[in-house]
Amino acid sequence: MPIPTTPSPAFCRRLHRDEVFELVLDAIVSGELAEGERLRDTELEEWLGVSRTPIRMALARLEDLSLIETVPKRYTRVSHARPWLVRPLLPTLCSLVLLALVEAVADDETRVAVAAVLRQAGAEAPAGDEARVVAPSAPPVVEALVSAARTMAAASSNGRLEGMVVHFGVALLFHARFVGDDLDEAGLTEGLSSLAVALERADVEAARTAVETIASSAGQ
C-alpha cells in the first residue's frame, strides 16, 4: 500500500522525531505500509508535514528495530518479517521486564491485570495497540507476553523503560508472525503460566525464574 497522501494530524507537545517515529511505526505494524514498501523522503515529508531531519532520525530508530532496511543511495523500505530475530528480541524484552518486576509485583492492581492477561494467553490475543498486527499475526502467547510486559513497565514509573518495552515489543510481534521453530511455544506457554501464578502469589523470586524460562523459549 502506498504512503498515505492525507496529511497527518498536526503535531503537538512531543518532539517531531518522536511523533514521526510513532506514526510510521503504527503504519508498519497495522499493514498500512506493507512489507517491501519503499519509503521516499519527499512522500514522507508530504504525508507527515515535517522536514527531512526528524524523518531520517525516526527511520534510523525503525532500522534499529529491524522494521525497515536501507541501502545507501538506493532505497529505504519496510522490512519483511524475519523470524530468526525472535531469538534475540525475546530475551531482550524479558531483560526489560526483569527491570520492572519488583514494582509490578508490589502493585496489586498491576499483578491482577498481568496475571489475567497471561491466563487467557491461549484463548485470544489481548486487546490494545500492540495487538494490531497485519495477518497472519504473532502467536497469541507472544501477544500476551508483550501486553503483560507493557503493563508491568507502565507500573515502573520509568518512562524510558516503558518506551523501550513498547518498541521492542512491537518489533517482536512484527517478526514473530512466521516464527516456526525459532520459538518454543510450549515452553513459552509454560513460562507465562508460571509467571501468572507467581504474580498472583506476589512471589518476586518465582516471577523472576518464570521470566528467565520465558527468555529461554526463543530457541538456540
Q: What is the pLDDT of residue 165?
A: 93
Q: 70 with 95, same domain?
A: no
Q: 156 with 126, same domain?
A: yes
Rounded mean pLDDT, 161-167: 90
Q: Please give the model's pTM, rounded to 2 decimal places.
A: 0.72
Q: 55 with 155, same domain?
A: no
Q: Is residue 57 part of a domain?
A: yes
Q: 64 with 103, same domain?
A: no
> What CATH number corresponds to the domain at position 65?
1.10.10.10
Rounded mean pLDDT, 46-63: 90
Phi and psi torsions of 76, nearest 5°: -125, 130
Q: Does the pLDDT of residue 98 top 70, yes or no? A: yes
Map residue 14 onto helix, strand or coil: coil
Choose between 86 and 8: higher pLDDT. Answer: 86
Q: 65 with 158, same domain?
A: no
Q: What is the pLDDT of residue 64?
A: 86
Q: 158 with 57, same domain?
A: no
Q: 62 with 103, same domain?
A: no
Phi and psi torsions of 38, nearest 5°: -75, 140
Q: Is residue 5 part of a domain?
A: no
**How many structural domains are present in the chain?**
2
Is residue 113 a contact partner of residue 119, using CB atoms and an 8 Å limit? no
Distance CA 141, CA 121 (A): 5
